[in-house]
């Protein structure tokens, strides 16, 4: 193989089996499609059987390799069964999250626990169970979705932000602990993305426009714009990348404040 051939195959996922949890919609669906397009055999996992099957069917109809699976990230046994169903677990992409947009003094304990249970505990279940399997086989890549809210926050985002900061710290710790076993662990930090999670914001034009103007590119992103970073972190192109937060926010974090001074 020539040097050019070696570089041309950096993003080739042929022969890799990658589980995408949350593949029924949004970032998870886009990631599953992109991973399959680069040759991976994708297990499209979701709490909704219909959504998982639809994503898998889309991949197969396009000539890719995929199957659907139902999984509940609140149930560690469900995740262990999912990972045991594949001969090898070369990659995990974990995307599920929920948000309750209320100020901290107004949010109930039940609402707090609802967000924490899915976003933080669910991620913990998913990545640690995958980490055990990958450690045993001596290789693998884990990608979990954090958020720009792990870095910055606004009123009404406190609990969500706390969980996404927690996800980032779990990922960093797992990267350190699994590095000796040749397992890479990274997080993605999207900005504002057109997904079901942001339906409440999209329904308010002023709110929607304010978020669009907050990024350097002046718009929201689509789930497909997170697909490339997912493929990158899952592939050999990122063979020396672990414990990292890859920010994909259109420049949101680069901007200091919303006011554009008259310079």
- The tokens describing 39, both together, are 């040759």
Q: Which of 20-24, 156-160, 198-202, 240-244 shows the lowest mean pLDDT across its residues? A: 198-202
| Residues of the chain above pLDDT 70, percent | 97
Q: Is 208 a catalytic residue?
A: no
The pLDDT of residue 262 is above 70: no
For the segment 207-228, the average pLDDT, to the nearest whole number, is 92
For the segment 209-235, the average pLDDT, to the nearest whole number, is 94
| Residues of the chain above pLDDT 90, percent | 85
The pLDDT of residue 263 is above 50: no
pTM of the model: 0.94
In this predicted model, what pLDDT tens digit does every residue of 98-122 receive, in sequence order? 999 999 999 999 999 999 999 999 9
Write the DSSP assignment of the chain as a string of letters. Answer: --HHHHHHTTT--TT-EEEEETTTSHHHHHHHHHHHHTT-EEEEEES-HHHHHHHHHHHHHTT-EEEEEE--TT-HHHHHHHHHTSS---EEEE---------TTT--HHHHHHHHIIIIIHHHHHHHHHHHHHHHHT-EEEEEE--GGGT---TT-HHHHHHHHHHHHHHHHHHHHHGGGTEEEEEEEE-SBSSGGGHHHHTSHHHHHHHHHHSTTSS-B-THHHHHHHHHHHSGGGTT--S-EEEESTTGGG--SS-----
Rounded to whole angstroms, the Cα distance separating 139 from 133 reads: 9
The pLDDT of residue 2 is above 90: no
Band (182; pLDDT cuts 50, 70, 90): very high
The pLDDT of residue 6 is above 70: yes
Catalytic residue among 147, 150, 234, 235: 147
In this predicted model, what pLDDT tens digit does every residue of 79-100 receive, in sequence order? 999 999 999 999 999 999 999 9
Number of other residues whose CB lies within 10 A of the CB of residue 3: 7
Q: Is 102 a catalytic residue?
A: no
Q: Does residue 41 or residue 210 have the better pLDDT?
A: 41
pLDDT of residue 4: 84
Yes or no: say if 163 and 98 are a contact pair by the CB < 8 Å rule.
Answer: no
| Mean pLDDT score across all residues of the chain | 94
Rounded to whole angstroms, the Cα distance separating 182 from 98 reads: 31
Catalytic residue among 160, 215, 234, 235: 160
Band (259; pLDDT cuts 50, 70, 90): low
pLDDT of residue 84: 96
Rounded to whole angstroms, the Cα distance separating 69 from 21 reads: 9
- The tokens describing 81, both together, are 């069964």
The pLDDT of residue 134 is above 50: yes
pLDDT of residue 198: 82
For residue 72, count CB atoms less than 10 angstroms from its CB and return exposed for 0-12, middle for 13-18, buried for 19 or more.
middle
Q: Is 114 a catalytic residue?
A: no
What the chain holds in terms of domains, given with CATH numbers, is 3-193+221-248 (3.40.50.720)
Yes or no: say if 69 and 32 are a contact pair by the CB < 8 Å rule.
Answer: no
Catalytic residue among 16, 23, 164, 234: 164
Per-position b or e across 239-259, b if 16+ CB within 10 A of its CB: eeebbbbbbbbbebeeeeeee
- CA 173 to each of CA 135, 143, 168, 185, 214: distance values in angstroms, whole numbers, following the listed order: 15, 13, 9, 9, 31
Band (258; pLDDT cuts 50, 70, 90): low
Number of other residues whose CB lies within 10 A of the CB of residue 138: 10
């Amino acid at each position: 193989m020539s040097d050019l051939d070696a570089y041309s195959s950096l993003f080739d996922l042929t022969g890799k089996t990658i589980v995408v949890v949350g593949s029924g919609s949004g970032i998870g669906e886009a990631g599953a499609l992109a991973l399959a397009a680069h040759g991976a055999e994708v297990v499209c996992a979701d709490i909704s059987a219909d959504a998982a099957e639809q994503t898998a069917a889309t991949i197969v109809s396009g000539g890719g390799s995929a199957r659907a699976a139902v999984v509940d990230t609140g149930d560690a046994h469900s995740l262990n069964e999912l990972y045991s169903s594949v001969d090898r677990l070369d990659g995990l992409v974990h995307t599920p999250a929920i948000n309750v947009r209320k100020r901290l003094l107004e949010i109930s304990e039940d609402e707090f626990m609802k967000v924490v249970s899915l976003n933080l505990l669910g991620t913990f279940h998913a990545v640690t169970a995958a980490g055990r399997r990958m450690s045993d086989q001596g290789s693998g890549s884990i990608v979990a979705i954090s958020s720009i809210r792990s870095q910055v926050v606004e009123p009404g985002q406190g609990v969500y932000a706390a969980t996404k900061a927690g996800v980032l710290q779990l990922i960093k710790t797992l990267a350190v602990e699994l590095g000796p076993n040749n397992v890479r662990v990274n997080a993605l930090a999207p900005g504002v993305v057109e997904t079901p999670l942001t339906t409440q914001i999209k329904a308010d034009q002023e709110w929607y426009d304010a978020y669009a103007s907050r990024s350097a590119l002046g718009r929201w992103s689509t789930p497909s714009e997170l697909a490339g970073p997912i493929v990158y972190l899952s592939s050999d192109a990122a063979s020396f990348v672990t414990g990292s937060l890859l920010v994909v926010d259109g420049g949101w974090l680069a901007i200091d404040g919303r006011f554009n001074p008259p310079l």
